[in-house]
Structures are given as structure tokens and as C-alpha cells.
Structure 1
Amino acid sequence: MLNRRQGSQLFGRRGVSLVELIVTMTILAILASVIMPMMQMTGTRSREIELHQNLRTIRTALDEFKKSYDKAITEKKMLQSANKSGYPETLQQLVDGYDFGGLYATKKKFLRRIPSDPTNPPRPGEEPKWGMRSYADKPDSSVWGGEDVYDVYSLSEGTAIDGTKYKDW
């Protein structure tokens, strides 16, 4: 067993020198400077993935609404109207549901809620905002005709990691 005197001679010193402290802090600063951009990129990437999923969810609901409308016309549950495309009049109609002339026992709902745009989030208490195009609008139109909702797009002016604009997705 070592006594106190032998132990202090064996280990010689107590504490950390200034040089060791500076070297350690430099290494930590270099690691932090590498990790921070990676964390920011991860956040951006996750918002882009969520935007893709939300756009896909809304567009799928729009297509399902159109299929149900066409089925109701085919099965003579509704009369075809010359001024109706078969797409919902608003996004909220996907949440509230639609009767389709009795095609279904109750109003058929296509979304539980309208997903928000993670690249352009709404303020607390506001409804999610999306750019919309009607069936009669041009494919690249930035002004909604208001007749129906044929397509949605992001209102964000931001640029994605791949260099494309979010509003062009």
C-alpha cells in the first residue's frame, strides 16, 4: 500500500496545465464548428420531408374526392353539372366532408385536419395557408381562380437543399 508521500511522488502534480486546457478547448471548438452546420442541415431536411408528405397528403385527398365525385355521377347519385369539375370548393370541405348525393351513408371526410406548411408555418390561431389552383387555372398560375381546389403548393419563397423553390414542388 502506498502512503501519501509516495502517491504524490508517483503522480507528481495535481490539476491541468494551461496548455492542456487550451488544446482541449480548441478541439471542442473545431468539433462544434463541424456539428452546427450538420444540425442546421438536418433541421432543413426534416422540414422538406414534412413538406413533401403534407403536399402528398392533400393532393391524395383531392384525388380521392374527385374519384368519389365521379363515382357518384356514374352511379347516378348526382347530376353532372357543367360548371363543376368534381374537385372540392375549398380545402376545408376535405375536413368537413361531402354527401356525394347519398353515395355513402354519411358525409365522407378525406382529412382530419388541413396539414400546415412547415416552410411557412401559420401563426398561432391561424389556419394553415397554402397556395391553391383551380381546375381552370394554368398549371403554373400563382392566382387562385376560386372555382375549386385542384392543386396546392407552398407559399414559401425559400429554396430547397437541391436548389428548387418550395413553391414549385
Structure 2
Amino acid sequence: MSARSYERRGAWGFTLIEMLVVLAMLGVLAAAARPVLLMSVQRSQEFQLREALRQIRGALDAYKRAAEAGQIQLTIEDSGYPRELADLVRGVADAKSPNGRKLYFLRRLPRDPFADPALEPAETWGLRAADSPPDEPRPGRDVFDVRSLSERRALDGSRYRDW
């Protein structure tokens, strides 16, 4: 039969074999794209973790500088770091302000993107007190530093809890 006879009868289309080949090719492409998608999700979470750590650590440093400048009233036992992470959001009274205004260091406490979403943001972080050694971080009377509690490894092979 010539092509003209197919045109007249309206028999143009795909065969079952052609459709199956196309579907198989799409399946192979989707299977190849899945690891790339998963890696991009992990990369995004790593970026969020870095940003959250940078924000919290910057706020802890700002709190310490304010304490050293005399803006935060300290006792003899205080290290100059906040007693808990919530102090960065809740704010503290400015000791130099005559009308008692507050100093705020964070608008909101970021959460660890690798932690359980059911937890409150403050519960997602591991805390390190100023008097704990860097190789054995533990909570104490103040918050000197924060770390992720995740046991997972980053794309570069490091552990998130070591960041």
C-alpha cells in the first residue's frame, strides 16, 4: 500500500511496539534522574544547615559582644553567652538603656533541616557550653555553640554533627 492509501483510511499512528519502546526509554531516563534529584534535595538541606548554623553562631557572638560591652547584666558566674537559645529570640534587657528596651539577636530560631519536623526548633540542636571541650561538646550553664544532632554524612563525607 502506498502512503496515500493510508492517508485516505486514517490509519496513521503508532504501533504497540513503538509505544513500548518510548515508555521503556522514559523509564530509563526517570531512573537515571532519581539519584540526581535526591542529591539536589540533600544539597539544599546542607545549604539550609550551613545558613542556620551561621545565623545562630552569629547571634551567639553578637550576644557575647553585647555582654562584654556592658549591655547585658551579668553575674560573676556568667560567661557572657546566653543561658538558652530562646534568649536570642526572646531578647534581654539592655542594661545601658534608660527606658529598659530589649536587645534581640534573632527574629526566629532556625531549625536543623535534618531533624525530626515534629520537634521544636530549639530541640533540634545539640548544645555546647563554654566550659566543655570541643572534642566532647555537652550542654551546661550557657550556650557557647550549636551543632546538628544528625548522624548522617554530608555529600563531602563529613558528618553533619561535626560542622
What residue number does 1:13 align with?
11
Structure 1 stretch displaced more, 86-95 or 127-136 = 127-136
| Distance of 1:11 and 1:36 partners within structure 2 | 43
Alignment length, in residue pairs?
159
Alignment of 1:12-161 (within 5 A): 13-72=11-70, 78=73, 81-103=75-97, 106-123=101-118, 126-128=120-122, 129-144=124-139, 146-161=140-155
Query: Is the partner of 2:78 in helix, strand or coil?
Result: coil
Quote the sequence identity (%). Answer: 38
Tell whether 2:131 aligns with 1:168: no
Query: Is the partner of 2:127 in helix, strand or coil?
Result: strand
| Distance of 2:90 and 2:32 partners within structure 1 | 48
Amino acid at match of 1:110: F
Which sections of structure 2, spanning at least 5 residues, go unmatched? none
| Distance of 2:49 and 2:9 partners within structure 1 | 59
* Shift >6 Å, 4+ stretches: none
Deviation track 1:116-157 (CA, whole Å, cap 9, x = no partner) reads 000113306x3442100111111122421x211000000111
Change in Cα spacing, 1:165 to 1:10, as seen in structure 2 (3 Å) is same
| Distance of 1:111 and 1:69 partners within structure 2 | 16
Contact 2:129 2:138 in 1 (8 A): no
Contact 1:69 1:100 in 2 (8 A): no
* Cα distance, 1:34 vs structure 2: 1.3
Query: Is the partner of 1:147 in helix, strand or coil?
Result: coil
| Distance of 1:149 and 1:66 partners within structure 2 | 10
RMSD in angstroms over aligned alpha carbons? 2.4
Which sections of structure 1, spanning at least 5 residues, go unmatched? 1-5
Amino acid at match of 1:41: M
Amino acid at match of 1:143: R
TM-score (norm 2): 0.86
